[in-house]
Chain A
Amino acid sequence: MTEKKGPETWQEINPGCMVFRKGSAADYHTGSWRAKRPLWENEKCIKCGVCYIYCPEGCITEQKDGYFDANMDYCKGCGICAHECWPGAIKMVNEED
């Protein structure tokens, strides 16, 4: 059973639009805004984690092999990771490509 995403009618709105469900912000997939996406070239990556630290969306995580990747449900394609990556291991590519 899928949990209800939000109120249907105005009567169902909680006072103050308060939300009592944990992690409800995760329902909103900001990845749909993206025009460009980050692409990691792991040969250049030194596993410093700068991309992980700077990601404003907090959607970059360390993988099992120590390299990094972004969760495309939430990556807005802002390019901050690519800008901050000093070995130049991340490049932004067009979403359609």
Chain B
Amino acid sequence: MGKRVGMEVAIASAEAAALCKFDVASVYPITPQSHVAEHLSDIVADGRVDASFITVESEHSALSSAMGASATGARVVTATSSQGLLFMSEVMPITSAMRLPIVMIIANRAVSGPINIWNDHSDIMPMRDTGWISFFADNGQEVVDMVIQAFKVGEDRRVMLPVNVNMDGFQLTHVVEPIIMPDQEEVDKFLPPYEPFATLHPDKVVSMGTLGMPEFFTEAQKSKNVALVNSKKVILEVWKEWEKQFGRKYEPIQSYRTEDAEIALLTMGSMGETAEIAIDELRKQGVKVGLLKIKLWRPFPFDELKKAVKGIKVLAVTDRACSFGGPGGPVFSEIRSALYDVPKRPKIVNFIIGLGGRDVPMEGFMEMVQKAAKGKLSEPYEFYGVRG
């Protein structure tokens, strides 16, 4: 039943893809994703998986060739980060529109400038509307589990969509963690071989990536949106199955000590673990505080959010990116919008935190809770810890 190993998370994410027996890896290396690219290449070169590794000249080509491979019926993995993800952005909505279940491992990193290689979520946030399913992992174990789950969800005939698994650059990618690596037999039992809806094959005519005239384009977009919305049902199903087989529970929004909580922090990604410690500390002091962690960013878990905030008076949303000149952080803006119609909604405040690798220690989250307690900040959204 799996083996507990100490492994760097980037390496572990590639190992998870290998357990899924990918057919093609098409990856261009970029910090802090490079260890994923290198290790996928090692896995193929060592013959551990019967697969091709495509050495591409750019991220645009990485995703484009990944799509070509996926269209022939291959199980395809790619990975990127920051500028690389932005370079893929032209191809991303086409991947989802063509309903190709590629899995992309993203080592989240700040987008330049100034040039910065460290972690925040400013790379994935602009990709929000590209029609991909988006998972956010808290730790190495979740990265491994989510990569395997991603293939199962994306390839499901009721879904047929690409999935990205977000892991924080450096904070996760370069950290050695104890991880329970599932056995090959376990993964084989969980993940059946990929059976594509259609493949490019000369014997069976199909056109993919067709022209959509104005009289069909709206219908095409609606159909893509419905596919993404409906994928949630399958995601929940797959997570239930995962829990049953592997004993680890996954939910779109994970609540931590929110019973009787009046204030709640909300995080996405690895900072959730630091926030948990801050919650424990504050609970010891008698503060009624809890934590919500979003694991499923797209499709957005509206019902789960409404349920999770019941009884909470103040919700402090943390964002790892800023929508410049907009309403604050992208997560904050979505949460506020999602709760607008809820009569008993909490007051919602926004902290933009941990930009470009800025550390947020436990004390930081404790301070945010104190500041949020009033239900209002001195400004609509706060760049937490900014000097000046």
Report the minimal beta-carbon distance from B218 to chain A, rounded to whole angstroms: 8
> In the assembly, what is the distance between CA of A24 and CA of B227, in Å?
25
Listed stretches B40-48, B183-191, B202-210; interface member: B202-210
Is residue B198 contacting chain A, with contact meaning CB distance below 8 A? yes
> In the assembly, what is the distance between CA of A71 and CA of B198, in Å?
33
Q: Is the CB of A18 within 8 A of B97?
A: no
Size of the chain B interface, CB-CB below 8 angstroms:
24
Report the minimal beta-carbon distance from B108 to chain A, rounded to whole angstroms: 28
Report the minimal beta-carbon distance from B271 to chain A, rounded to whole angstroms: 36
Is residue B72 contacting chain A, with contact meaning CB distance below 8 A? no
Is residue A87 contacting chain B, with contact meaning CB distance below 8 A? no
Q: List 13 A-B contacts (CB under 8 A).
A: A6-B215, A7-B216, A13-B219, A15-B197, A16-B97, A16-B100, A16-B198, A17-B98, A18-B208, A18-B210, A20-B198, A20-B206, A25-B211
With A15-B99, A16-B99, A17-B97 known as contacts, the answer to whether A10 contacts B208 (CB < 8 A) is no
What chain A residues lie within 8 Å of B160 (beta carbons)? 15-16
Contact of A19 among B210, B222, B223 (CB under 8 A): B210
Q: Is the CB of B205 within 8 A of A17?
A: no
> In the assembly, what is the distance between CA of A79 and CA of B257, in Å?
72
**Which residues from 52 to 79 on chain A have a C-beta closer than 8 Å to any C-beta of chain B?**
none
Taking residues whose C-beta sits less than 8 angstroms from the other chain, chain A's interface range is: 10 to 19
Q: Is the CB of B210 within 8 A of A17?
A: yes
What chain B residues lie within 8 Å of A21 (beta carbons)? 205
Closest A residue to B204 using CB positions: A20
**Which residues from 1 to 42 on chain A have a C-beta closer than 8 Å to any C-beta of chain B?**
6-7, 9-13, 15-22, 24-25, 28
> In the assembly, what is the distance between CA of A19 and CA of B160, in Å?
16
What chain A residues lie within 8 Å of B218 (beta carbons)? 10
What chain B residues lie within 8 Å of A25 (beta carbons)? 207, 211
Report the minimal beta-carbon distance from B96 to chain A, rounded to whole angstroms: 9
Contact of A6 among B207, B216, B222 (CB under 8 A): B216
Q: Is the CB of B219 within 8 A of A18?
A: no
Is residue B236 contacting chain A, with contact meaning CB distance below 8 A? no
Q: Is the interface of B mostly helix, strand, loop or mixed?
A: loop
What chain B residues lie within 8 Å of A15 (beta carbons)? 99, 160, 197, 223, 227
Q: Is the CB of A9 within 8 A of B219?
A: yes
Closest B residue to A13 using CB positions: B223
What chain A residues lie within 8 Å of B100 (beta carbons)? 16
Q: Is the CB of A16 within 8 A of B98?
A: yes
Report the minimal beta-carbon distance from B71 to chain A, rounded to whole angstroms: 9
List 13 additional A-B contacts (Cβ < 8 Å) besides A10-B219, A17-B220, A19-B206.
A7-B216, A7-B219, A9-B219, A10-B226, A13-B216, A15-B197, A15-B223, A16-B208, A17-B212, A18-B207, A22-B205, A25-B211, A28-B211
> In the assembly, what is the distance between CA of A35 and CA of B270, in Å?
60
What chain A residues lie within 8 Å of B205 (beta carbons)? 20-22
> In the assembly, what is the distance between CA of A90 and CA of B213, in Å?
32
> In the assembly, what is the distance between CA of A18 and CA of B204, in Å?
12
Report the minimal beta-carbon distance from A12 to chain B, rounded to whole angstroms: 8
> In the assembly, what is the distance between CA of A7 and CA of B227, in Å?
17
**Which residues from 144 to 185 on chain B have a C-beta closer than 8 Å to any C-beta of chain A?**
160
What chain B residues lie within 8 Å of A9 (beta carbons)? 219
> In the assembly, what is the distance between CA of A20 and CA of B200, in Å?
11
Query: What 8 A-B pairs have minimum CB-CB distances, sorted nearest first?
Result: A16-B99, A10-B219, A10-B222, A19-B207, A13-B223, A16-B98, A10-B223, A15-B99
Residue among B97, B100, B210, B227 having the largest count of chain A Cβ atoms under 10 Å: B210
What chain B residues lie within 8 Å of A17 (beta carbons)? 97-98, 210, 212, 216, 220
> In the assembly, what is the distance between CA of A15 and CA of B207, in Å?
12
Q: Is the CB of B215 within 8 A of A24?
A: no
What chain B residues lie within 8 Å of A11 (beta carbons)? 223
Residue among B99, B211, B218, B219 having the largest count of chain A Cβ atoms under 10 Å: B219
